[in-house]
């Protein structure tokens, strides 16, 4: 199973910059408010410095104390007010950015070629749509705003320190080299750890959801030990990758903390020494030391949010990586003219270098009933998927009404050709919602006609609210046969001129089959039908039969012609007939 791509750091940066440009105005307003709030908070150490200064030189009058206290109050109140506005602004911005990212991601996912989704497995995609979105959510809503605030506060505090007294402020710089080197090391070793962690979670979710979805198969084939082993293995991997990033934080955080205390003591020592030597005033030494103390809080937050940002960056890389899957079709085709389907020298491989179709050519006339027969593994289903436009030929071409399927978007192909399988998902929504998915413009008359065509109108009208009855996992339950009828009614509404019917997967439930046969034949009426036939009476009733053997069309003709030819088909027919008791 090949995982979906993950975007590189450069791509992530570019994407982030693009978002920033898009939200430049609100971002600048937010930054402005945060800067003003931080500036207001910076008055406090300066005021206290003045207090100490006046106390030491004897100029501290009661009037001065009053003024200093008022200034302190104003600074703290305006800090609170500005912070409130800034935070509101940043949370709103966070919501908008996150909504944009989520919409982009959804568009990317919906655009993924079906074959890629099938090959990547649901685990990877599921983990991106849940875990990674959740991680990104935390980053965009909380980590990013908090981190930005902390950076602004740190920078402004540094500026204030150097404005108050560059000489005293110099002391705080002794911690910069150690901090810079250890941070760089931490980022270098921790980043791949976070990527590994996300992948480990994706694998774990994949293993668990696959086991839950395939519980019956797991049971039937006694795979539970194997599945339990795989899940244990994936949990172990998630555990160790979590342990790794945790140990990275464990050595780095204490170093950072120690450096903060070191910066405060160094500044106090250095400021005191400068004051004794009459190089600076006691007010300046006090204010700068207080600035260093005040700076440890935002610095602490910068550090604390850094790994959340790393997780967010990794999640973003996984989300926008989905956009890197190349589209398998060009979308520049025109509207198909007519209903003729032409298959010309088509080759197809699931794995590079292993063709399963080796040059299939065939024209299917409008209204024709074509049966495709042949041994299992010959390539019949593959051919069906190609005609329905799910996969695109590796070479050669398939045209619908003169337009190559490779140039048509899947949504446009669906209006012409549909694949009928056993899958008949009921979506959460009303009966009407479930049907008009295929053609959103349909009115209730059309919906009723479609239901009547498949013999389902009667029971639908008896539902508690008729067409408005809620279905799906939380709604009114329907039987598998009813679900299949709804799927067929959906097809009637979609009204494609050609149906590809895979008998191996369509109408598998034998009890439902007899009842559904009538519904199905109503749907087939008047359309081109390509039936991948497992019951040879389908072939007998078809206009033409194509015998596929080893990825090639070995024989093509009517049932009678092929019998007379006395080749593969005649042999298949004889062996099938002899399996039926009483037939000769």
2, 62, 376, 473: which one binds ligand ADP (CB under 6 A): 376
Q: Which residues pair with 532 in a beta bridge?
A: 372, 502
Q: How far is the CB of 419 from ligand ADP (least distance, A)?
A: 13
Q: Which residues pair with 429 in a beta bridge?
A: 471
Is residue 377 within the footprint of ligand ADP (CB under 6 A)?
A: yes
Contacts of 542 (CB under 8 A, 6+ apart): 369, 370, 371, 531, 533, 559
Is residue 356 within the footprint of ligand ADP (CB under 6 A)?
A: yes
Pick between residue 467 and residue 546 the one whose CB is nearest to ligand ADP: 546
Distance CA 558, CA 561 (A): 5
Q: How far is the CB of 579 from ligand ADP (least distance, A)?
A: 19
**Interface region with ligand ADP, contact rule CB under 6 A, candidates 148-156, 238-246, 379-387, 414-422:** 379-387
Is residue 2 within the footprint of ligand ADP (CB under 6 A)?
A: no
**Interface region with ligand ADP, contact rule CB under 6 A, candidates 143-151, 373-381, 406-414, 558-566:** 373-381
**Interface region with ligand ADP, contact rule CB under 6 A, candidates 224-232, 255-263, 374-382, 394-402:** 374-382
Q: How far is the CB of 396 from ligand ADP (least distance, A)?
A: 16
Distance CA 547, CA 511 (A): 29
Q: Which residues pair with 119 in a beta bridge?
A: none
**Interface region with ligand ADP, contact rule CB under 6 A, candidates 181-189, 255-263, 378-386, 514-522:** 378-386
Distance CA 367, CA 326 (A): 35
Is residue 546 within the footprint of ligand ADP (CB under 6 A)?
A: no
Pick between residue 300 and residue 355 the one whose CB is nearest to ligand ADP: 355
Contact (CB, 8 A) for 500 and 419: yes
* CA nearest neighbour of 341 among 373, 388, 382, 381: 388
5, 121, 321, 379: which one binds ligand ADP (CB under 6 A): 379
Q: How far is the CB of 307 from ligand ADP (least distance, A)?
A: 39
Pick between residue 352 and residue 583 the one whose CB is nearest to ligand ADP: 352
202, 256, 322, 378: which one binds ligand ADP (CB under 6 A): 378
**Interface region with ligand ADP, contact rule CB under 6 A, candidates 133-141, 370-378, 462-470, 517-525:** 370-378
Residue 542 host element (H or E): none
Q: How far is the CB of 350 from ligand ADP (least distance, A)?
A: 3
Pick between residue 254 and residue 377 the one whose CB is nearest to ligand ADP: 377
Pick between residue 148 and residue 381 the one whose CB is nearest to ligand ADP: 381
Distance CA 251, CA 258 (A): 11
Is residue 382 within the footprint of ligand ADP (CB under 6 A)?
A: yes
Pick between residue 136 and residue 532 the one whose CB is nearest to ligand ADP: 532
Residue 556 host element (H or E): strand 552-557
Binding mask 274-313 for ligand ADP (x = CB under 6 A): ----------------------------------------
Pick between residue 380 and residue 559 the one whose CB is nearest to ligand ADP: 380
Distance CA 316, CA 65 (A): 53
Contact (CB, 8 A) for 435 and 450: yes
**Interface region with ligand ADP, contact rule CB under 6 A, candidates 239-247, 264-272, 369-377, 480-488:** 369-377
Contact (CB, 8 A) for 496 and 418: yes
Is residue 424 within the footprint of ligand ADP (CB under 6 A)?
A: no
Q: Which two tokens stand for residue 281?
A: 């005033």
Contact (CB, 8 A) for 490 and 437: yes
Pick between residue 239 and residue 350 the one whose CB is nearest to ligand ADP: 350
Pick between residue 354 and residue 514 the one whose CB is nearest to ligand ADP: 354
* CA nearest neighbour of 246 among 196, 288, 280: 196
Strands (E), 438-502: 470-471, 498-502
Q: How far is the CB of 412 from ligand ADP (least distance, A)?
A: 24
**Interface region with ligand ADP, contact rule CB under 6 A, candidates 151-159, 265-273, 375-383, 413-421:** 375-383
Q: How many helical (H) and strand (E) elements, i.e. helices and strands, does the chain have? A: 22, 12
* CA nearest neighbour of 373 among 488, 515, 541: 541
Pick between residue 175 and residue 378 the one whose CB is nearest to ligand ADP: 378
Pick between residue 101 and residue 562 the one whose CB is nearest to ligand ADP: 562
> C-alpha angle 378/328/412, rounded to 5°?
90
Is residue 448 within the footprint of ligand ADP (CB under 6 A)?
A: no
Contact (CB, 8 A) for 316 and 16: yes
Contact (CB, 8 A) for 156 and 39: yes
Q: How far is the CB of 121 from ligand ADP (least distance, A)?
A: 11
Distance CA 450, CA 454 (A): 7
Q: How far is the CB of 556 from ligand ADP (least distance, A)?
A: 16
Q: How far is the CB of 379 from ligand ADP (least distance, A)?
A: 4
Q: How far is the CB of 407 from ligand ADP (least distance, A)?
A: 24
**Interface region with ligand ADP, contact rule CB under 6 A, candidates 234-242, 360-368, 377-385, 440-448:** 377-385
Can you list the alpha helix ranges (DSSP code H) found in 165-279? 166-169, 176-213, 215-220, 224-276
CB atoms within 10 A of CB 545: 29
Is residue 380 within the footprint of ligand ADP (CB under 6 A)?
A: yes
Measure Cα distances from 32 to 96, 141, 465, 500 in Å.
19, 19, 55, 61
> C-alpha angle 498/557/529, rounded to 5°?
15
**Interface region with ligand ADP, contact rule CB under 6 A, candidates 30-38, 126-134, 376-384, 402-410:** 376-384
* CA nearest neighbour of 291 among 171, 202, 450: 171
Nearest-Å Rg of the Cα atoms of the chain is: 35
Pick between residue 378 and residue 487 the one whose CB is nearest to ligand ADP: 378
Is residue 381 within the footprint of ligand ADP (CB under 6 A)?
A: yes
Q: How far is the CB of 355 from ligand ADP (least distance, A)?
A: 9
Number of residues that bind ligand ADP (CB under 6 A): 10
Q: How far is the CB of 199 from ligand ADP (least distance, A)?
A: 23
CB atoms within 10 A of CB 101: 20
Q: Which two tokens stand for residue 185?
A: 């090391």
Binding site for ligand ADP (CB under 6 A): 350, 356, 374, 376-382
């Amino acid at each position: 199973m090949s995982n979906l791509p993950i975007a590189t750091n450069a791509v992530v940066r570019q994407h982030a910059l693009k978002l920033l440009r898009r939200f430049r105005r609100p971002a600048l307003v937010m930054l402005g408010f945060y800067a003003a709030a931080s500036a207001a908070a910076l008055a406090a150490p300066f005021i206290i410095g003045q207090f100490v200064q006046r106390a030491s030189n004897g100029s501290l009058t009661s009037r001065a104390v009053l003024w200093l206290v008022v200034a302190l109050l104003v600074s703290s109140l305006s800090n609170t007010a500005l912070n409130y506005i800034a935070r509101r602004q940043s949370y709103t911005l966070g919501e908008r950015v996150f909504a944009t990212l989520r919409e982009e991601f959804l568009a990317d996912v919906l655009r993924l070629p079906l074959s890629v989704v099938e090959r990547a497995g649901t685990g990877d995609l599921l983990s991106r749509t849940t875990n990674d979105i959740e991680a990104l959510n935390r980053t965009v809503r909380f980590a990013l705003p908090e981190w930005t605030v902390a950076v602004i506060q740190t920078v402004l505090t540094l500026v204030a320190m150097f404005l108050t007294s560059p000489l005293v402020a110099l002391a705080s710089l002794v911690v910069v080299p150690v901090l810079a080197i250890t941070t760089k090391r931490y980022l270098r070793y921790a980043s791949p750890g976070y990527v590994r962690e996300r992948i480990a979670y994706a694998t774990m979710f994949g293993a668990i959801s696959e086991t839950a979805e395939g519980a019956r198969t797991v049971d039937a084939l006694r795979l539970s030990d194997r599945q339990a082993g795989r899940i244990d293995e994936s949990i172990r991997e998630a555990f160790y990758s979590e342990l790794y990033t945790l140990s990275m934080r464990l050595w780095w955080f204490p170093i950072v903390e120690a450096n903060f205390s070191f910066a405060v003591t160094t500044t106090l020592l250095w400021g005191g020494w400068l004051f004794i030597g009459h190089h600076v005033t006691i007010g300046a030494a006090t204010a700068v030391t207080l600035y260093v103390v005040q700076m440890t809080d935002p610095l602490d937050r910068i550090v604390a949010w850094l790994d959340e940002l790393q997780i967010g960056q990794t999640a973003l890389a996984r989300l926008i990586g989905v956009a890197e899957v190349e589209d398998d079709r060009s979308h520049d085709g025109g509207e198909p003219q007519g209903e003729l389907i032409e298959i010309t020298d088509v080759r197809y491989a699931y794995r590079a270098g292993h063709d399963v179709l080796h040059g299939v050519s065939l024209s299917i006339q409008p209204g024709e009933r074509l049966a495709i027969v042949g041994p299992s593994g010959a390539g019949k289903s593959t051919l069906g998927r190609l005609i329905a436009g799910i996969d695109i030929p590796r070479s050669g071409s398939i045209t619908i009404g003169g337009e190559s399927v490779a140039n048509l978007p899947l949504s446009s192909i669906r209006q012409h050709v549909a694949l009928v399988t056993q899958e008949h998902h009921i979506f959460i929504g009303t009966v009407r919602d479930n049907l008009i998915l295929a053609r959103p413009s349909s009115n209730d008359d059309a919906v009723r006609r479609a239901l009547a065509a498949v013999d389902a109108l009667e029971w639908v009208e008896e539902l508690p609210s008729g067409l408005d009855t809620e279905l799906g996992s939380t709604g009114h339950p329907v039987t598998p046969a009813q679900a299949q009828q709804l799927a067929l009614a959906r097809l009637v509404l979609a009204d494609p001129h050609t149906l590809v019917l895979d008998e191996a997967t369509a109408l598998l439930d034998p009890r439902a089959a007899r009842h559904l046969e009538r519904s199905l034949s109503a749907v087939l009426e008047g359309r081109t039908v390509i039936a991948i036939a497992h019951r040879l009476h389908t072939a007998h009733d078809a206009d033409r039969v194509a015998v596929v053997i080893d990825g090639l069309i070995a024989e093509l003709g009517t049932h009678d012609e092929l019998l007379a030819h006395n080749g593969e088909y005649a042999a298949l027919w004889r062996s099938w007939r002899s399996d039926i008791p009483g037939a000769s």
